[in-house]
Amino acid sequence: MLSKKIEAALNTQIGHEFTAGYTYLSMAAWFEFNHWTGFAKWMYAQREEELMHGMKMYKFTCDRGGRVELPALVKPPTEFKNPHDVFARAFLMEKANSKTINDLYGLAVDERDYMTQSFLKWFLDEQVEEENITDEVEALLKVAADNPGALVTLNNLLGQHAGGSPGTTAGRPPGGRPA
């Protein structure tokens, strides 16, 4: 059985995961509108991952006898300056998500909830990969700047590498480091 503190924190984190998914969908919409279909495809894959993360937490909460109370989703941004701006925001979002997962893990330690600690280990490892991927793409976009050829190449490559399962090169930019 979950403590009320852990239950509340898991519900909050479920909201963070679903909000991240909603934000990635908004980013995909911006890319679609601006005809960057490869970037959009990558964002759609990230959306699916975030929803899967939220559902894992949802199921864990239920399995531990907790009550899921879904929080309202925050309206995502809809306007961006350029592809680099989108990925810079995605990286900041992933860093913020890492912090909330770290805080949740710390609460599980404080509460001596070993099952939740064990469950959260996967998310901690996953966030290393998520931050790494978005940071690397942002860095590549920073180098590409306003070079149309470089942007088209990155758009095409990310579209080809979108999706896949954790532990594969799918979703990583070319040359991306494994997590």
Read off the pLDDT of residues 40-62 as tens digits, 9 standing for 90 and up.
Answer: 999 999 999 999 999 999 999 99
Q: Are 49 and 94 in contact (CB under 8 A)?
A: no
Q: Read off the pLDDT band of 2 (50, 70, 90).
A: very high
Q: State the pLDDT at residue 146.
A: 86
Task: Sort 132 into a burial class: Cβ within 10 Å, 0-12 / 13-18 / 19+.
Answer: middle
List Cα–Cα distances, 178 to 101, 136, 159, 170, in angstroms: 21, 12, 18, 10
**Domains of the chain with bracketed CATH:** 4-160 (1.20.1260.10)
Could you tell me the sign of the dihedral formed by the alpha carbons of 123, 6, 69, 11, in that order?
Answer: negative
Q: State the pLDDT at residue 73.
A: 92
Q: Read off the pLDDT band of 163 (50, 70, 90).
A: low
Read off the pLDDT of residues 116-149 as tens digits, 9 standing for 90 and up.
Answer: 999 999 999 999 999 999 999 999 999 998 899 9
Give which of 53, 66, 63, 96 is closest to 5, Cα–Cα.
Answer: 66
How much is the pTM? Answer: 0.88
* Full DSSP string of 7-31: HHHHHHHHHHHHHHHHHHHHHHHHH
Read off the pLDDT of residues 59-113 as tens digits, 9 standing for 90 and up.
Answer: 999 999 999 999 999 899 999 999 999 999 999 999 999 999 999 999 999 999 9
